[in-house]
Chain A
Amino acid sequence: MRRLPQEEADSVLFRPLMRSSWRFYVAVLILGSMVAWAGFAWLYQLTQGLGATGLNRPVYWGIYITNFIFFIGISHAGTLISAILRVAHAGWRRPITRSAEAITVFALMVGPINIIFDLGRPDRLLNVFIFGRYQSPLLWDVLAITTYFTGSILYLYLPLIPDIAMARDRVRPGHWKHLLFTLLALGWRGTELQKKRLHRAIGIMSVIIIPIAVSVHTVVSWVLAMTVQPMWHSAIFGPYFVVGAIFSGIATLLIAMAVLRKMLHLEDYLKPDHFNKLGLLLLVMTLLWLYFTFSEYLTTFYGNAPDELSVFYSKWHGEFAWLFWTMVVVTFIIPFFILAIPRTRTITGVVIASILINIGMWIERYTIVVPTLTRPRLPYDIGVYLPTWVELSITLGEFAGLALLYVLFTRLFPIVSLWEIKEGEEEEREKAQRVLAEPKPEGKLAALRRIVSG
């Protein structure tokens, strides 16, 4: 019997789970070697001490902290997109939630490692748990990020269960993947009771995860904002960071979706309309980001406090000006026009805008962390910071690591939530049937005739 076209299409989703193309191995090789090189750089740093970095006094923090904030920001792709859309019952979310949730989990694996890279004594990390002081913003980070990490793993896992069960049924028994899927599927058979419970669990998780996600980037910003340092000590830092996080999160999701679409041939699932809708969301975030940045910088400038101004001018026309203005161009000006004009809001256009936005958001984090530190309040020399090869290798390794985890994930699990799509289709069909079954409302003309003739 000929297979139904739909079934054939679905097997696209499971193909990467069964067979790996040469592209997969090449990707793993390249990304893996980048990660290995970063591991070597870290070992070098461990033997040499943090002197191996470009950090100094007064620039005590550099690109490790920048990366930390950036990757935690990216992690907001998953939850906020998928949870908000789920809560809002947006039907078009179905094919994209999984790829978004996976970004969250992997970005949360990569981001916090930067704190370990940045520690002078990583061997004493456990002191944070033994002697932890809850008055310290760093402890708030530990608490928020571990909660978020646990929550987002659950949030990724729950909607995966039915798809894992489907994958289990497709793998021949005896294969190690069959064992893995059997374990992870938790005996899913798709009964009504199981479905009801799963829906309930997902519903609860998607509501819980939203405030947790918001809290995470808020407390990340508070590590800076709770100090009295110029241009860090700002009340809008919490929401400013959250907006930036969602902004770069959506951009990352769009890049990931475009790559998946191309590499795994998911054209039937990730449609131009998804890119269009997320592109519009990105446009809103671009404007919101500009609004926050404008508020932050204008109040600083207008307030005219000398300490604040010296940091402000270092970005406005000082040594950080090229970074600052690049940031404005690539996070706002170019993406705004690409996303606002319908003709350029194509998949290619949206992806270009997303790449630019991520570059810009990394620069944004950098120009928040470093310039303040270069301008101590007392008249010391102005701080100079240049990251060394160690820091740059580790940074590249982190990006590679995130990509590697993602690639491996797509080989183990279907990256599109198949059962949710099917469920959506069923719902649509039911709705259509209900509409068809209902007695047709009497037209005005017919009613008039009836009255006249009656």
Chain B
Amino acid sequence: MTRWGMVIDLDKCAACQACVVACRAENNVAFAGEEEAAKGRAIFWMQLLPVAEGEYPRMKISFIPVPCMHCDNPPCVKVCPVNATYKNEEGLVGQIYTRCIGCRLCTVACPYTVRFFNWYDPQWPTEMASSLNPEVYVRPRGIVEKCSFCVQRIRRAKETAKAEGREIRDGEVQTACAQTCPGHAIYFGDLDDPNSTVSRLAHSGRAFRLMEDLGTEPKVYYLASGEWDVFKHPDEEAISRRRLSERRKQL
């Protein structure tokens, strides 16, 4: 069975926020406006979280892109009174927009604070309102929403694969954030496939997840920055393997 997961390489992330913008456009995320955003009403299915470590002058600032973690053991799903949020057989934590009553018990139960509430009717600047993604439901006021791992893209890829009578290939499904990332820092794929890029990266020594001690089993992995010796990127591994065989031939 497929188990969708994401790997974000923090060493490659340049904190350019292209993922944030791409996600917005892909998923019809409403614009809160400057004033409301200052009140904390902005919605970000993908956001860039600045993390400051240490104190001046020995200080390090890093940025972590944070989507929904799609936990295997999701605290939000557990508490929903109406089954409006659920985990499907492929490990996606989904939201049924037409059922959600907006009680926000899931938003307060989520330890990652990655669930968002529609405080007002959704709005876009006029130029954008006409170019909404027709494949994504426009969420009305009063309900909760969050990153869906671009479920519409997963669905499309599945249909294509089915029409062509084959399995989905590794790397075939790309979330909007992964597709747009200029540094190729975001990988998306099947964690259950031992040969997929994401599952190999998730098993690397650099891989960690946010708040693993809570037992939520997130399916978003991060690759720590600055520890190149521990980690071997699959591409590099291939390169080094090729080099090795070349040297053998030479010998």
Contact = CB atoms under 8 A, between A and B. Distances in A.
A319 to B, nearest CB: 15
B112 interface: yes
Nearest to A59: B40
A136 B143 contact: no
Nearest to A372: B108
Interface string A359-381: 00000000000000100111111
B118 interface: yes
Contacts of A119: 101-103, 142
> Which bracket fits the contact residues of B?
35 or more
Interface in B82-138: 82-84, 99-105, 107-109, 111-113, 116-121
Contacts, number: 136
Contacts of A384: 40
Interface stretch (B49-57, B225-233, B243-251): B49-57
A92 interface: no
A127 B105 contact: no
B36 interface: yes
Interface string B65-97: 010000000010011111110000000000000
A353 B100 CA distance: 43
A137 B109 CA distance: 11
A139 B40 contact: no
Contacts of A376: 113
Contact of A136 (B81, B108, B144): B81
A223 B117 contact: no
Q: Which of A60, A373, A376 has the most CB of B within 10 A?
A: A60
B46 to A, nearest CB: 14
Contacts of A56: 39-41, 119
Interface stretch (A36-44, A47-55, A320-328, A392-400): A47-55
B163 interface: no
Contact of A131 (B99, B118, B144): B99
A128 interface: yes
Contact of B41 (A57, A115, A138): A57
B148 to A, nearest CB: 18
Contact of B49 (A57, A121, A131, A378): A378
A383 interface: yes
A121 B79 contact: no
Contacts of B109: 226-229
Contacts of B51: 379
Contacts of B120: 48-49, 51
A137 B107 CA distance: 14
Contact of B108 (A61, A130, A131, A133): A61
B215 to A, nearest CB: 9
Contacts of B83: 131, 133
Nearest to B109: A227
Given A59-B40, A120-B142, A127-B101, A133 B80 contact: yes
B16 interface: no
Contacts of A59: 40
Interface in A220-237: 223, 226-229
A186 interface: no
B111 A133 contact: no
A57 B116 contact: yes
Contacts of A122: 101
Interface string A133-152: 10111110010000000000
A226 B106 CA distance: 11
A51 B43 CA distance: 13
B211 interface: yes
B241 interface: no
B210 interface: yes
Interface string B19-36: 000000000000000001
22 contacts: A49-B120, A50-B102, A50-B141, A51-B120, A57-B42, A57-B107, A57-B116, A119-B102, A120-B101, A121-B100, A124-B82, A124-B99, A128-B82, A131-B99, A133-B81, A133-B82, A133-B83, A136-B78, A138-B103, A227-B75, A227-B109, A378-B211
The 8 closest A-B pairs by CB, nearest first: A120-B102, A120-B142, A56-B40, A51-B119, A138-B81, A136-B81, A227-B109, A131-B82
Interface of A: 48-51, 55-61, 115, 118-122, 124-125, 127-128, 130-133, 135-139, 142, 223, 226-229, 373, 376-381, 383-384
